[in-house]
Structure 1
Amino acid sequence: MLDFILNIIIGGLLGFFGGLLGIGGGLFAIPTLSLLYGMDQQLAQGTALAMVVPNIVLGLYKYNQRNKIEWKAGTILSLSAFILSWFGAVIAIDLDHRTMRQIFIGFLIFIAIWNIIQTLGKRMSTGLRHLPWPYFATLGSMSGFLGGLFGVGSAVIATPIITMFFGATQVVAQGLSLAIAVPTTAATLATYSFHGQVNWMTGFAMAIGGVLTVSYGVRAAHSLPQHILKTVFSVFVLISAALLYGQLE
């Protein structure tokens, strides 16, 4: 019972940061499960998804309330992402867990550096550009595949691209990215579950905590400047990468 309550508390912390950064919490849940519970990479990713799915659904609802999502673009992104997410998840299941962790660490560092470059560049957001649909379909496909591979939800990949190349503000990009993440995380979770790579009891407890706090994270996201959101995101990602790297040694 004590473990269940502790998992709710951990899920609450992850849910808040997931809502704050528009990523559902999976990016930080995976290192947490690996470091605190000794889970291998695939089991940590699958269990994190059990927490992430309800967080993402609620986060999407809250973001849409505060900043109406462009549903035409979101539909193209989500459909193309959904198709490719399954392939990424299948590849991840078959990889050696140590190799998978090394690739995941490299992915975290890349995402953090990308966000830092954006922050230093101080590029002004001009509003979401309505580019031809193949641009959105390409982004959705790439985000879906990598989201399925790493079990973090497509929002992690899509958000920095939408701000950099599609002209959206950070909060608009985070909301739109969650629209991609809903179908892809559900498909990825189903794949991991089918292969026995989900600890449902832990994931369920963390999901309860996340649902209780994700709304507060979304509220905070809309009150903070973009550069602060990007900086917080980059710092947490680099800390996660460093802790996971230390576990490899």
Structure 2
Amino acid sequence: MFPIEYFIGLIIIGIFAGFASGLLGVGGGFLIVPLQYFLLQYIGVNSDLAILISFGTSLAIIIPTSISGAYRHSRSMDGIIKPGVQLGIFGIIGGFIGGFAASSLPYNILEIIFGCLLLFVAVNNILNINREREKSRISFNLINSGIIGLLVGFSSGLLGVGGGIFLIAILTSLLGFSMIEAIGTSSIFISLTAIGGFLSYMISGWGISTFPYSIGYVSIINFILIAAFSVPFASIGAKYAQKVPQKKLKIIFSMLVLYMALKMLGILP
């Protein structure tokens, strides 16, 4: 039913997304979503269904992938579990709501929203590339963490990403986290937030999705193949994150996000 290059593509996505997840603390969704979307279109899946399958399956994959990276980060860094869990609890609620919202929006609108948000994050990081640590502008308390968790969680569910690309920008620019602290905290946050979004895509696509071997908008084949490679590579990426200078991490993070933003907006072929 599926061409052999489809399975090869899924394996490649798993390797790259897993390594990026552990290295950058972003869950890998910013790679899993667009690459899955382009791959599904390649085999003839219509765009409306392709983008929802990409979102739902991405969130399912992010759960085990980010847990792998979070475990590695928590072993080498102190003080990241509490803020990560606190943000993540609110993120689960936001992700659940965002997932249902996505199923009611046209695919081209979702493409534009996803691309614009990625572009904003990339530009913000490029402008602050030389800053090792920002001064904290707001305090980290229950109210602020609740607002941030809900908003980032909503964007996570809406766009099928763990939310790490948005959370890292907030933690470093508003809360005074260093890049490596933000990456570690984010890896814990997204492992929780993705649960809410995953459940909403599974429920909203139940009896509607026509994609073979899927539960709602979650593809079982895509999940198994990508996760099989993303989970071990997330642990490898997290190990390297401790050794790479923060400036280089920011450059890698910014360039990858910028490329995907231009790709989703149709600026790059």
Q: Give 1 or 2: higher helix fraction.
A: 1
The count of aligned residue pairs is: 248
Cα shift readout 1:187-240 (whole Å, capped 9, x = no counterpart) = 211111221212220121000010121111111111111121111111111111
Cα shift readout 1:97-146 (whole Å, capped 9, x = no counterpart) = 111111111111111112112215x253579x963322222211211111
Contact 1:41-1:98 at 8 Å conserved across structures: no
Q: Where does residue 35 of structure 1 map in the other structure?
A: 38
Which has the larger displacement, 44-53 or 26-35?
A: 44-53
Normalising by structure 1, what TM-score?
0.90
Contact 1:35-1:247 at 8 Å conserved across structures: no
Contact 2:132-2:178 at 8 Å conserved across structures: no
Structure 2 CA distance for aligned equivalents of residues 247 and 96 of structure 1? 20
Cα distance change, pair 93–69 in 1 and its aligned pair in 2 (3 A): farther
Q: Please report how far the alpha carbon of residue 161 of structure 1 lies from its aligned counterpart in structure 2 after TM superposition.
A: 0.9
Map 1:198-237 onto structure 2 (within 5 A). 198-237=218-257
2:19 pairs with 1:16: yes
Map 1:121-136 onto structure 2 (within 5 A). 122=131, 124=133, 131-136=140-145
The structure 2 residue matched to 1:152, chosen from 149, 161, 164, is 161
Letter in 1 for 2:99: A
Q: Please report how far the alpha carbon of residue 36 of structure 1 lies from its aligned counterpart in structure 2 after TM superposition.
A: 2.3
Contact 2:66-2:191 at 8 Å conserved across structures: yes
Q: Please report how far the alpha carbon of residue 50 of structure 1 lies from its aligned counterpart in structure 2 after TM superposition.
A: 2.5
Q: Where does residue 192 of structure 1 map in the other structure?
A: 201
RMSD: 2.4
Contact 2:119-2:262 at 8 Å conserved across structures: no
Structure 1 CA distance for aligned equivalents of residues 181 and 197 of structure 2? 24
Query: Structure 2: which 5+ residue stretches go unaligned?
Result: 42-46, 206-215
2:121 pairs with 1:111: yes
Contact 2:163-2:190 at 8 Å conserved across structures: yes
Q: Where does residue 181 of structure 1 map in the other structure?
A: 190
Contact 1:85-1:147 at 8 Å conserved across structures: yes
Letter in 2 for 1:227: K
Q: Where does residue 64 of structure 1 map in the other structure?
A: 74
